[in-house]
Structure 1
Amino acid sequence: MPYHLHIEPSGHEMGCDNDETILEAALRHGFNIPYGCRNGTCATCKGRILSGEVDYGKVEEKVLSAAEKASGLALFCQATPLSDVIIEVREIGAAKDIQIKTLPSRVAKIVDLAPDVRALFLKIPITERLQFLPGQYIDILLKDGGRRSFSLANVPGDDALLELHIKKVPGGAFTGHVFGALKEKDILRFEGPLGTFFIRQESTRPLLMVATGTGFAPIKGMLESLFAQGSIRPIHFYWGVRHAEDFYCHDLLSEWQSRHDHFQVTRMVSRPDASWSGATGYVTAQVIHDFPDASAIDAYICGHPDMVFSLSDALQGAGLNPEHIFADAFVFAKAKTS
């Protein structure tokens, strides 16, 4: 028998089956609440239980501490109801009319961007369109039931070809396939669009955008959309990599800088060699150095989980309300069990 789920402050109400998470129930009923990885790792879906009982699921202490549980917080991608529940969470209205689809796609083009980064361009059936918001991601569905999440690097108007940036992971089965046997015209199935990492259009605050590695992919889509809209919100983009050869899209970044006076880029290398003459170190330290008072910005952060978590904490320490921090930590999504 389903439990009753009530969302504050919107007042939305729905049924929640006793074997589904609060996030699954909300999405099933068309109510969009913040989420990212859906496996209890990124903490994007953290919200408050105002009344009722839940099973918190398997979550690590660093993501949801015992003290946070005691204060009523839960990860809605993991929490399942044990009674009727009232929760408090900020809903995302911009994605409410976007349909999540499962579609086949054909590999139309493979492009090497950097020594360990490839762009896949996927063509969906001519009878289909994929509506999404710049910054969202899709899950590639594997034959063994697993899935791999990759951000969309293009903008919605270019959905005839979906652009993914894929970094080779040592020992990674799927990325090994991408850098090995995968060829043009191969078929890949995916589900999407997913996630709540996209620009909040209602805000006029300056934008801080930070990426490590292929975290540039969703940022690229966001920036292209903002420029196309004619937005003049000040933007400072920080991009951190280990080695200088890990950077890519050099011409595109140069074009953006030359055309948009309100756009600034800081590229950083954490393991430089003698040929690199730019900024060195880690983006977290540099951002906090440049923004000792971060209270007036909107921050969009994407990439390695360690960077995402540390920078989020540091920005809050610099005065930024967490409601103005939007993040996508790159973690593996679990295989569905049903």
Structure 2
Amino acid sequence: MKTIRCQIEKVTPFNDAVYQVLLKPETAFDFKAGQYLSVVMGEKDKRPFSIASAPNAELIELHIGAAISESYPMQVVERLKTSTHIDIEAPAGDAYLRSDSHRPRILIAGGTGFSYIKSIVEQQIANGETVNTKFYWGCRNEDAMYYQEIARKWHTENEWLEFIPTIEEVSETWQGKQANLLEQIKHDFISLNGYDIYIAGRFDMVGAARELFRELGVEEAHLYGDAFAFIK
């Protein structure tokens, strides 16, 4: 990884708990779709966030979930709001898109894990890939599904991609599944053998997903998620 100075272009809320951050690197750097960077808050304080933009994008996009005022991520948001520049370290992560694989793909995001999936889907589109892909995004309620619009657009414009939005607390206008994210996947699949699976979300969700997927015959060499490096 190298340290890169970035100009802070934009910090705007998607909703009351998630912020979109756009950064313009002063030095171009290469990364793979699905990798992450660390925001340098101090010499020994470097905080990781998935890169939401694809490698061909001009700006680096982050989605930071920060609902509580003094929380770990909100401290980053406040720094970004009050600064013109920030240092990042990038790239990092081994759960990047394997474009050379033609196995069907399952993409899974819990909450702001969507940022990780966004980079992967946008890279698939940029590459002209047509591998059959199912994308599950699970949230507590529809308000928490902060970028539903772009996910539904992917679904409409790309025959190879199916978007399956899943929430636990539905409204009268909701168009999607009402279920826990992992329960929905368990309902939809008898076996996960033969799939490439990419997953991001809270560590407890990702850990529970791995246990479920083992029951469904997942090939762990084809299960990608950087959280697994921390929850062995």
> Could you tell me which of 91, 94, 118 is aligned with 2:19?
118
Greater Rg by CA = 1
Structure 2 counterpart of 1:202:
100
Shift, 1:275, TM fit: 5.2
Partners of 2:152 and 2:163 within 8 A in 1: no
Task: Note if 1:264 corresponds to 2:165.
Answer: no
> Could you tell me which of 272, 286, 296 is aligned with 2:184?
286
Structure 1 counterpart of 2:48:
149
Q: How does 1:99-114 map to 2 (within 5 A)?
A: 100-114=1-15
- Closer, same or farther in 2 for the Cα pair 1:330/1:104, shift >3 Å? farther
CA distance in 2, matches of 1:208, 1:236: 5
- Closer, same or farther in 2 for the Cα pair 1:273/1:101, shift >3 Å? same
The runs of 5 or more residues in structure 1 that have no matched partner are: 1-99, 333-338
Shift, 1:144, TM fit: 6.1
- Closer, same or farther in 2 for the Cα pair 1:168/1:198, shift >3 Å? same
Task: Note if 1:133 corresponds to 2:37.
Answer: no
CA distance in 2, matches of 1:240, 1:183: 28
Shift, 1:237, TM fit: 0.5
Deviations 1:130-166 (A, max 9, x none): 10001100011113621210000011111x3110000
Deviations 1:158-208 (A, max 9, x none): 1x3110000014254553345546437522111110011111122111000
Q: Which has the higher relative contact order, 1 or 2, with Cα contacts under 8 A spaced 6 or more apart? A: 2
Shift, 1:299, TM fit: 0.6
The runs of 5 or more residues in structure 2 that have no matched partner are: none
What TM-score do the two structures reach when normalised by structure 1? Answer: 0.63
Partners of 1:154 and 1:220 within 8 A in 2: yes
Partners of 2:33 and 2:120 within 8 A in 1: yes
CA distance in 2, matches of 1:138, 1:154: 12
Shift, 1:324, TM fit: 1.2
Structure 2 counterpart of 1:240:
138
Partners of 1:115 and 1:245 within 8 A in 2: no
Partners of 1:107 and 1:184 within 8 A in 2: no
CA distance in 2, matches of 1:261, 1:241: 24
CA distance in 1, matches of 2:200, 2:206: 6
CA distance in 2, matches of 1:330, 1:106: 31
Structure 2 counterpart of 1:167:
65
Identity percentage over the alignment? 29
CA distance in 2, matches of 1:331, 1:256: 30
- Closer, same or farther in 2 for the Cα pair 1:234/1:283, shift >3 Å? same
- Closer, same or farther in 2 for the Cα pair 1:295/1:263, shift >3 Å? same
CA distance in 1, matches of 2:11, 2:69: 21
Aligned-partner SS, 2:182: helix
Point out the more displaced range, 207-216 or 316-325: 316-325
Partners of 1:305 and 1:331 within 8 A in 2: no
CA distance in 1, matches of 2:218, 2:87: 39
What TM-score do the two structures reach when normalised by structure 2? Answer: 0.90
